A = this chain, B = another copy of it.
């Protein structure tokens, strides 16, 4: 038994398996399991440094457990990678044997990380809006996260017809639109010259930028629209405080974060926890996603209401998706056997 090898799944294996996985459903079920204490997180570790080339780099480690699996996602990024044509982020997921705790499976992690993030957005949107009614979507930021979100949204929203793209780097938005037009001739892609133009036109906006300065104001968002604050610092104070409904994935993660606006507002006593009374001159979060998904009927969202979803990012989803990938790999005999 000491010689049981470790299974290694590279990016191609992971992508091939993920293409056949119901990621949104896995993420949905994991949020419900989290609410029942059948899945969980431990606080993450973060190592930050300046690269020899002078760029900011970091390695985050998110431990979690779900579906009887225990492990962590390591997700790293260097801000200088785009100069050498590399993706900003790269990752690795480690699954441990539940009985012996020994590392059991290592797999490429960036694909799963992006997929589960998009999966959470779609699962949340499905709970507050009829996906069949969504025809116009906007993306703020045109990187990998936008691409993966589009994959899952196009599947979840059969009536989707128009996608508006905005990126601070307008050439990037143009390139992205050109490439996506080729891949998805059924959809119309527009490039917006200003973020506001994109948001104002969409029933659903997904923010997937790298900004650290909030800029999307309440009056940009049309009545009845949803705004998914994936990159966490796009929604401005007016939007976070003024939207009709505010949902987060996990309040503890939001509050523990020193940097992002919602955490700052929470610490300043202007936004309070889900299910608590709103502070004077502030608001409460309506619910966290596990609570919302467990009983969406308890959180009716009016058709004219503006909804903000703030998904901080829970490592538990990486483990849940990775566990499904590992199970599929075992079934199909995929992966490389690494000697211990």
- Interface digits, A44-65 against B, CB 8 Å rule (1 contact, 0 not)? 1111110111010111011111
- Distance in angstroms from A268 CB to nearest chain B CB is 25
On whether the beta carbons of A106 and B106 are closer than 8 Å, the reply is yes
In this assembly, does A166 line the interface, its C-beta being within 8 Å of a C-beta of chain B?
A: no
In this assembly, does A331 line the interface, its C-beta being within 8 Å of a C-beta of chain B?
A: no
Copies in the complex: 2
In this assembly, does A102 line the interface, its C-beta being within 8 Å of a C-beta of chain B?
A: yes
Knowing A45-B42, A63-B46 touch, does A101 contact B78 (C-beta < 8 A)? yes
On whether the beta carbons of A100 and B84 are closer than 8 Å, the reply is yes
When chains A and B are docked, how far (Å) is the Cα of A106 from the Cα of B98? 21
When chains A and B are docked, how far (Å) is the Cα of A70 from the Cα of B87? 19
On whether the beta carbons of A94 and B96 are closer than 8 Å, the reply is no
Chain B residues whose C-beta falls within 8 Å of the C-beta of A332 in the assembled complex: none
Knowing A52-B99, A61-B72, A86-B1 touch, does A45 contact B47 (C-beta < 8 A)? no
On whether the beta carbons of B84 and A1 are closer than 8 Å, the reply is yes
Chain B residue at minimal CB-CB distance from A59: B96
When chains A and B are docked, how far (Å) is the Cα of A1 from the Cα of B65? 33
Chain A interface mostly:
strand
Knowing A100-B78, A100-B81, A106-B106 touch, does A59 contact B52 (C-beta < 8 A)? no
On whether the beta carbons of B72 and A47 are closer than 8 Å, the reply is yes
Binds B, one of A6-14, A19-27, A150-158, A301-309: A6-14
On whether the beta carbons of A100 and B86 are closer than 8 Å, the reply is yes
Query: Interface residues of A, CB < 8 Å — how many?
Result: 57
Chain B residues whose C-beta falls within 8 Å of the C-beta of A71 in the assembled complex: 47, 59
When chains A and B are docked, how far (Å) is the Cα of A253 from the Cα of B186? 57
On whether the beta carbons of A98 and B49 are closer than 8 Å, the reply is yes
Chain B residue at minimal CB-CB distance from A97: B78
In this assembly, does A294 line the interface, its C-beta being within 8 Å of a C-beta of chain B?
A: no
In this assembly, does A77 line the interface, its C-beta being within 8 Å of a C-beta of chain B?
A: yes
- Distance in angstroms from A156 CB to nearest chain B CB is 29
In this assembly, does A35 line the interface, its C-beta being within 8 Å of a C-beta of chain B?
A: no
When chains A and B are docked, how far (Å) is the Cα of A64 from the Cα of B100? 25
In this assembly, does A340 line the interface, its C-beta being within 8 Å of a C-beta of chain B?
A: yes
Chain B residue at minimal CB-CB distance from A12: B339
Q: Which one of B10, B94, B99 lies within 8 Å of A80 (CB-CB)?
A: B99
Q: Which one of B53, B65, B102, B338 lies within 8 Å of A10 (CB-CB)?
A: B338
A-B contact pairs, 9 of them (CB 8 A): A12-B339, A44-B45, A49-B65, A52-B68, A52-B98, A57-B70, A59-B70, A72-B74, A77-B101
Residues in chain A within 8 A of chain B (CB atoms): 1-2, 8, 10-12, 42-49, 51-53, 55, 57-59, 61-65, 68, 70-72, 74, 76-78, 80-81, 84-87, 90-92, 94, 96, 98-103, 106, 108, 336, 338-340
